[in-house]
A and B are shown apart, each in its own frame.
Chain A
Amino acid sequence: MVNMQMTGAQMVLKALEDQQVDTIFGYPGGAVLPIYDELAKTKDTNHQIRHFLVRHEQGASHAAEGYARSSGKVGVMLVTSGPGVTNAVTGLTDAMMDSIPLVCISGQVPTHLIGTDAFQECDAVGITRPCTKHNWLVKNISDLSRILHEAFYVASSGRPGPVLVDIPKDIQFQTGTYIGPDTIKHKSYRPKLKANIDNIDDALKLIAEAEKPIFYTGGGVINSGNAAVQLLREFVRLTGFPITSTLQGLGAFPGDDTQFIGMLGMHGTYEANMAMNKCDLMINIGARFDDRITGKIDEFSPNSKKIHIDIDPSSINKVVDVDVALVGDVAHVLEDAIKLWKSKVYKVNKSQIKDWWKQIDKWKEVDSLGFNEDKKTIKPQYAIQRLYELTREKDVFVTTEVGQHQMWAAQYYKFNRPNRWITSGGLGTMGFGLPAAIGAQVAHPDKLVIDIAGEASILMCIQEMSTAIQHKLPVKIFIINNQYMGMVRQWQELLHDKRYSHSYTDALPDFVKLAEAYGAKGIRAQSPSELDKAINEMIDYDGPVIFDCVVDENENVFPMIPSGKAHNEMLLGDETEKEEISDEGKVLV
């Protein structure tokens, strides 16, 4: 019998090993030294866990998110007490909003000093309570292994999310009995996976009767896993209905498939938003009626029946009331739905669906993603189109920062597989893309990983360049450089009479020199004629690259549903007549 007596620090590593974790992102400090010491002791043994040293704890959190999002595994991070934890808060909140499974292990001052305002003490569980799915302060060594296993269970089951385990330094030194994951069962948390079969039948009847249906799918499909993705594809093809996706759901259904009518929402395609507005049946699979999607809520899809599949009961009727709610895991629900569809020999209303497609094709003719190309300056849309065309044969992982470049990436880069598109949707965290790319590259060392960035966002976590160099992670940073916080400027143009208050980024670094300063390669492209060659040079370079793509400063993201407007009130371009935005609309974000 193996001796299961060990120190708290050893238990942490043993628990990670038993949870099949081989990769963590972290930054050492006083309150986690015992755990770091164990990492040093297990180096070059079979029990080695790869630790990626970041340059800021926010970087660790986004790297863990990128790792989780691109691999479907739980992301793990290790930080010290006090500032280590407070720096991680942005990433934990980001993971909470986008339902990403994350385990954050933090050091804490020794138990006898808790509450004394000790050096680097903060109330970690108090601070992270609203931004984690659950968290624990370990006060007794006998609880430690159970809590660690529960942490992985809670993070990865049901609607996934971040959790935090706060371990005081004295607990890390104490010796206790380690308990393996097999004997641990959470006493009450059991998310419901299967939906009620009668409700599924109600939904199928609506689907069979529908004349103008649409699938509206979200990140929940991708979170549910590969089976869910395959079942979704099967079901969508079975029905022949059009499908649109949220920002987080891109890639679940192939982006270049004819049934896919593009992303919906504030910067979605004309056809997707019009179809949402005019449909008579909306089938929401793993999306949450986010305000970026719905626009003006009382004019949201006024004439449709709505089916909502979600694993989180609190998502049902939270924003939009639905007719059939199916609470359960997407894969489980779709599996039952397809079986029932076939056994009851349901048929869709073919001739009506054909007419519906004719209408959608008319909307497509508007060509809402069209833009004017230019010979002299690079249009940002063109830059992303070229990036897509030149990389589409490869299996590419794309992360983004937040802003105009993010929306252009979502519009012009097509994703045919899940987990390839990693972006901060709910929280909208500038600085997300580079560390997330690092995490994705760690999970997929031989794949091409590109962070499509803006020149403002990238500076928020630029220090992680150093991480990429140290760990030989060949991430490519493709900066759409328009010298503005473009999305801020776009809103100022629309809502504040072009008073560009503090949205111009003065004193930008020379990104080529910056890349070289870190020991990476810097590339700049300024005209459309040199773009393809430069992109190919970036792809071919074996190592991290910062690509400074100097683009037209004045482009805006279209189509756009302005704040407080409905889906059928889209702006299609700068040329369209702009109606005054109401005061009600101005308060919205």
Chain B
Amino acid sequence: MSELILKHTVSVLVDNEPGVLARVIGLISGRGYNIDSLTVAEVDAEKHISRITIVAPGTEETVNKMISQLQRIVPVKRAVNVTFEKQGIEREMALVKIVSTGEKRVESMRLSDVFRAKVIDTTHDSFVFELNGSPRKIDAFIDLMKPLGLSEVSRTGVVAIARGTEKM
């Protein structure tokens, strides 16, 4: 198995009951794994099922161990590694605030066009951009904005789903 430390994206389907998120993240920290990002929302209102998406750094082996530990939690129905390199699609949304004037302001506007970011708030001295895409695309956008008056970033964390007909 690969010893390479990569970011792995793990989707976890859980019964949406009190404390279930605490169980999942408590297990991850308690057994010494790390979390880069975490998203959670109910995805089936009738059956009360939530989907938790965790991005965790580690070797394939450690992430597989984490997944089998997650499956021990009673309200966890399934846990799957849906990492981009395999067959998953990953998306994230970010709100990015730029505070600048003059040339920098114009340049940030131009670049946002290239990234297909939307302007959702503006003043004479600022923009708030909304940007969707892969985590890498968002990283790249933020890097480009740094010299142009980057003031604040808010990111949702990754959501992921498998390609094609495959169901979790």
- Contact surface of A with B, Cβ cutoff 8 Å: 125-126, 129-130, 133-134, 137, 139, 154, 159, 186-189, 312-314, 316-318
Contact = CB atoms under 8 A, between A and B. Distances in A.
A191 to B, nearest CB: 10
Given A133-B74, A188-B77, A314 B23 contact: no
Interface in B5-56: 15, 18-19, 22-23, 26-27, 30
B137 interface: no
B47 to A, nearest CB: 8
Contacts of A188: 15, 74-75, 77
A232 B158 CA distance: 48
Interface in B53-85: 64-65, 68-69, 71-75, 77
B124 to A, nearest CB: 46
Nearest to B78: A188
A157 B22 CA distance: 23
A154 B15 CA distance: 15
Contacts of B69: 314
Given A188-B15, A318-B65, A312 B72 contact: yes
12 contacts: A126-B22, A129-B26, A134-B73, A134-B74, A134-B75, A137-B18, A137-B19, A188-B75, A188-B77, A314-B65, A314-B71, A317-B64
A139 B19 CA distance: 13
B74 A154 contact: yes
B2 to A, nearest CB: 14
B167 to A, nearest CB: 17
A130 B30 contact: yes
Contact of A317 (B23, B65, B73): B65
Interface of B: 15, 18-19, 22-23, 26-27, 30, 64-65, 68-69, 71-75, 77
Contact of A129 (B15, B23, B68, B77): B23
Which applies to chain A's interface (DSSP): helix, strand, loop or mixed? loop
Contact of A189 (B22, B68, B74): B74
Nearest to B74: A134
Given A154-B74, A188-B77, A312-B72, A129 B19 contact: yes
A318 B71 CA distance: 14
Contacts of A139: 18
B40 to A, nearest CB: 17
Contacts of B64: 317
A69 B72 CA distance: 22
Contacts of A318: 65, 68
Contact of B68 (A126, A186, A313): A313
Nearest to B19: A125
A133 B69 CA distance: 12
B15 to A, nearest CB: 6
B26 A130 contact: yes
Contacts of A314: 65, 68-69, 71-72
A314 B18 CA distance: 24
A265 B27 CA distance: 28
Given A130-B30, A133-B74, A187 B15 contact: yes
A128 to B, nearest CB: 11
B71 A129 contact: no
B7 to A, nearest CB: 22
A38 B112 CA distance: 69
A134 B23 CA distance: 9
Contacts of A137: 18-19
A586 to B, nearest CB: 21
A407 to B, nearest CB: 28
B72 to A, nearest CB: 5
B12 to A, nearest CB: 13
A314 B66 CA distance: 9
Contacts of B75: 134, 188-189
A126 B30 CA distance: 13
Contacts of B27: 130
Contacts of B19: 125, 129, 137
B22 to A, nearest CB: 6
In the A-B complex, the 9 residue pairs with the smallest Cβ-Cβ separation, listed nearest first, are A314-B68, A134-B74, A314-B69, A189-B74, A188-B77, A314-B72, A313-B68, A130-B30, A129-B26
A150 to B, nearest CB: 9
Contacts of A154: 74
A316 B15 CA distance: 25
A139 B18 CA distance: 10
Given A134-B73, A317-B65, 17 more contacts: A126-B22, A129-B19, A129-B22, A129-B23, A129-B26, A130-B27, A130-B30, A134-B74, A159-B72, A186-B74, A188-B77, A189-B75, A313-B68, A313-B71, A314-B72, A318-B65, A318-B68
Contacts of A317: 64-65
Contacts of B71: 313-314
A186 B23 CA distance: 18
Nearest to B47: A187
Contacts of B15: 187-188
A395 to B, nearest CB: 36
A153 to B, nearest CB: 10
A246 to B, nearest CB: 21
A186 B77 CA distance: 12
A357 B67 CA distance: 41
A314 B64 CA distance: 9
A138 B78 CA distance: 25
Nearest to B73: A134
Contacts of B74: 133-134, 154, 186, 188-189
Nearest to B64: A317
A508 to B, nearest CB: 38
A125 B20 CA distance: 11
B71 to A, nearest CB: 6
Contacts of B65: 314, 317-318
Nearest to B29: A130
Contacts of A159: 72
A312 B64 CA distance: 14
Nearest to B61: A317
Contacts of A312: 72
A317 B18 CA distance: 31
A188 B79 CA distance: 13
B68 A316 contact: yes
A130 B26 CA distance: 7
Contacts of A186: 74
B14 to A, nearest CB: 9
A477 to B, nearest CB: 36
A187 B72 CA distance: 15
A189 B20 CA distance: 14
A298 to B, nearest CB: 15
A467 B32 CA distance: 40
